[in-house]
Amino acid sequence: MLSRRTLTASVAALALSPLLTACGGDSDAATTGAAGTKKVGNVNIGPDQHRIRGKKVDKIAALLPAAVRERGTLRLGGSADASPPLGFFATDDKTRIGSELDLATLVADTLGLKVKQELVSWENLFVGLDSGKFDAVFSNVTVTEERKEKYDFATYRLDNIAFEAKKGTNWRVKEPKDVAGKTIAVSSGTNQEKILVDWSKRNEKAGRKPVTIKYFQKDTDYYLALQSGRIDAYLGPSPAASYHVASAGQSQIIGTISGGGDEVQGEIAATTKKGSGLVDAYAAALNHVIEDGSYARVLKRWGLSSEAVPKSEVNPAGLPKT
């Protein structure tokens, strides 16, 4: 996706700050475990990840092009941006961790390949696919009808956005009427902003109060405003919201909707150059790890269980062209 594809490091810093600052005290929110690993809440952000691993399945590995099997590596492109829990650096500031790499590693294990990851800017992920430099991108890429013209996709996660409110609220959001009269923050220029503006207009047309939409200069300000009561909720990418809830323990998810709005359920997918001969192998590997339960364990580890897909699909309906 475009403006929701990554989160800034400042969001990560805010999510971690109330817990990391407790390291010197008696709080067990941030602890040092075996071999120096560190945890934020229940999330291990240390370099020693004890990553969930899979085993080669010969029948699935046989789906790979011969050149890739012989090479023995999965040349993986990843976004260099800090996007907890999807991809970011561990406490040693050099080890890359996150759910996207964990899932890519499971797929590579199933295919009998070793992951060789290179971190690049968002636009260079696609340049790398176009040039054949990367075999795959696992980096929160949403399936769109426009992208399907150049790339093949094997889905592995729902693309949702989430309403996050202070912990303990009984308010829940499922449809436009649930946000009528509320004050909600959102990032400018994002898909979630478009959806929220549309919901507000629909409320006014139905005779309900509009949404008061707030914008802030810094990402960290959204959560500060939430805790101070200046806003009722923040609408943002579901992975970021889930990670913040798990790490900071001050808020809760009160509703999730598709990043595609009412038109289509958005989906995140392993991405490869169209016609590369790799997408069927990715889908088969993903369906294998879904069936054996390791996929669910990875998502649970990063607080993303609500975004699980029951099956990996090849090139499903994507977000429509705009």
Sheet with 233-237, edge to edge strand ranges: 212-214, 183-186, 233-237, 160-166, 251-258
pLDDT tens column, 53-110: 999 999 999 999 999 999 999 999 999 988 899 999 999 999 999 999 999 999 999 9
Amino acid identity for residue 317 in this structure: A
Q: Read out DSSP for 164-233?
A: EEETT-----SSGGGGTT-EEEE-TTSHHHHHHHHHHHHHHHTTPPPPEEE--SSHHHHHHHHHHTS-SE
CB 154 within 8 A of CB 313: yes
pLDDT tens column, 189-239: 787 898 999 999 999 999 999 999 999 877 789 889 999 999 999 999 899
Output the pTM of the full model: 0.80
> What's the pLDDT score for residue 267?
95
